[in-house]
Amino acid sequence: MGTDADGGVGRWEQPAAPTPTPREGSRLAVGVVSAGRVGAVLGAALANAGHTVVAASAVSRASRARAEALLPGAEILPPDEVVRRADLALLAVPDDVLPGLVRGLAASDCLRPGQIVVHTCGAAGVGVLAPAAEHDVLPIALHPAMTITGRAEDVTRLTGACVGVTGPEGPREDAEAAWLVGEALVVEMGAEPVRIPEDARPLYHAALAHGANHLVTLVREAADLLRGAGIEPAERVLAPLLSAALDNALRHGDRALTGPVVRGDAGTVATHLHHLDDRAPDAAPLYRALARRTAERARAGGLLAPAAADDVATALAERPRP
C-alpha cells in the first residue's frame, strides 16, 4: 500500500516520495479490529474519505450495534479473517490486549507484504507491531487526541482534531513512507497529524489522559459539591465558568489562574477545607492535591509571593484526626 500519484493512499509500491494529501475515490479495503468506540469511529471516518470498510470484528451486542450503525456493509468476522481481507488493518483494541493480538495475527498467516497495519493505542508506538512488521507490513500508530464515545457525531468531531502519528525509525527503507502514509490517512479523515516519536508516546498519552479524564472527574466533583449544597442546576452554574477557565488556560497559561490560592487567601482556603472535611470528605483530598499544585505553579510563575504561598501550604495541611 502507498500513496497514489495524486496524493491519496493506495496500493503500496515502495514510493520514492509519497505526499500526504487526500483525494476522492475508494482505494483501500479497511478491516476494523474491533468495532469498539474508537475503531468504529475511525473506520467511519476512513469510509467518508473514500475507503471501503469490508469487515469488522464485533463480539458484544454494543459493538455489533455500533458496527451496524457506523460501518454499514462491513461483514462481521473473527479478527484474523478481518485482517486477511484488508489492505489496511485497523487494530483498535485496549492497550493491554494489543500485544497479544499482534502476536496472534502474526502467527495466523493472515498478514501479507504491503499491508498497512495501524493501531490506535495512545501509549504505544510501532514497537508493539514488531511481530507484524516481520511480515513486511507497513506499521503505523495513530491516536486521536479526542474523547470518543462511539457515536456518529464523533466522526464530525474528529474533523479539526489532532491525531498523533508514529512510524518506524531507523534503517528501514520504508520508514519515512510509513510516517507519510499515516499523515495522509489522518488528513483524509479531516484531522491534523502531529508526529510523536516512539519514546515520547507514553508521556504524550499520560498528558492527554491527565488533561481529559481528570478534567471530567474534576467537573463531576464540582457538580456534586454544588448539589450537596442544594444548588441546582449544578451544570448550568458551572458551564460558563468552566468554559471560560478552559479557554483562558489554553490562551494564557498560568496567568489564567484565579481564586483564593493564587490570591494567597489562606483563610478562605482553610474555610473551604473545614466544610469539605465535614460534608464531603471524599472530595477533600483532591482539593488539597490540586490546590498544592496550583500554589506551586503560581509561586514558580511569580503570581504568588513566597510568604503567601507558605500561608496557603499551612492551610492545606491535613486536618488532624481525633
Tell me the average pLDDT across 278-286: 96
- Kindly report, residue by residue over 62-108, the tens digit of the pLDDT: 999 999 999 999 999 999 999 999 999 999 999 999 999 999 999 99
Q: Are 137 and 111 in contact (CB under 8 A)?
A: yes
Instruction: Provide the 3-class DSSP secondary structure of residue 10.
Output: strand
Tell me the average pLDDT across 295-306: 97
Percentage above 70 pLDDT, the chain: 90
Q: Which of 196, 230, 259 is the last residue of a domain?
A: 196
Instruction: Provide the 3-class DSSP secondary structure of residue 217.
Output: helix
Domain count, the chain: 2
- Average pLDDT in the chain: 91
Q: Would you state the pLDDT for residue 319?
A: 67
Res. 198: pLDDT tops 60: yes
Do 208 and 139 share a domain, yes or no?
no
End-to-end CA distance of the chain: 68
Q: Would you state the pLDDT for residue 170?
A: 79
Q: Would you state the pLDDT for residue 56?
A: 98
Do 129 and 241 share a domain, yes or no?
no
Q: Find the angle CA(175)-CA(177)-CA(183) to the nearest 5 degrees.
A: 115
Res. 3: pLDDT tops 70: no
Tell me the average pLDDT across 245-262: 97
Res. 254: pLDDT tops 90: yes
Q: Would you state the pLDDT for residue 148?
A: 94
Calculate the alpha carbon distances from 135 to 83, 117, 131 in Å.
13, 11, 8
Do 146 and 83 share a domain, yes or no?
yes
Q: Domain of 300: which CATH number?
A: 1.10.1040.20
Do 219 and 181 share a domain, yes or no?
no
Percentage above 90 pLDDT, the chain: 87
Do 234 and 281 share a domain, yes or no?
yes
- Kindly report, residue by residue over 115-147, the tens digit of the pLDDT: 999 999 999 999 999 999 999 999 999 999 999
Least confident interval from 10-19, 35-44, 293-302: 10-19
DSSP letter at 7 equals S
The helix-helix angle for 284-300 and 306-315 (nearest 10°) equals 170
Q: Domain of 178: which CATH number?
A: 3.40.50.720
Q: Which of 196, 222, 244 is the last residue of a domain?
A: 196
Task: Specify if 240 maps to a domain.
Answer: yes
**Spatial distance between the Cα atoms of 2 and 23, rounded to a whole number of angstroms:** 13
Do 139 and 267 share a domain, yes or no?
no
Do 15 and 123 share a domain, yes or no?
yes
Res. 24: pLDDT tops 60: no
Cβ neighbourhood burial of 117 (10 Å; 0-12, 13-18, 19+): buried
Q: Give the domain range for residue 250.
A: 203-315
Instruction: Provide the 3-class DSSP secondary structure of residue 16.
Output: coil
- Kindly report, residue by residue over 35-70, the tens digit of the pLDDT: 999 999 999 999 999 999 999 999 999 999 999 999
Q: Find the angle CA(106)-CA(120)-CA(70) to the nearest 5 degrees.
A: 105
Do 130 and 219 share a domain, yes or no?
no
Do 87 and 176 share a domain, yes or no?
yes
Do 21 and 157 share a domain, yes or no?
yes
Q: Are 75 and 54 in contact (CB under 8 A)?
A: yes
Task: Specify if 321 maps to a domain.
Answer: no
Q: Are 16 and 6 in contact (CB under 8 A)?
A: no
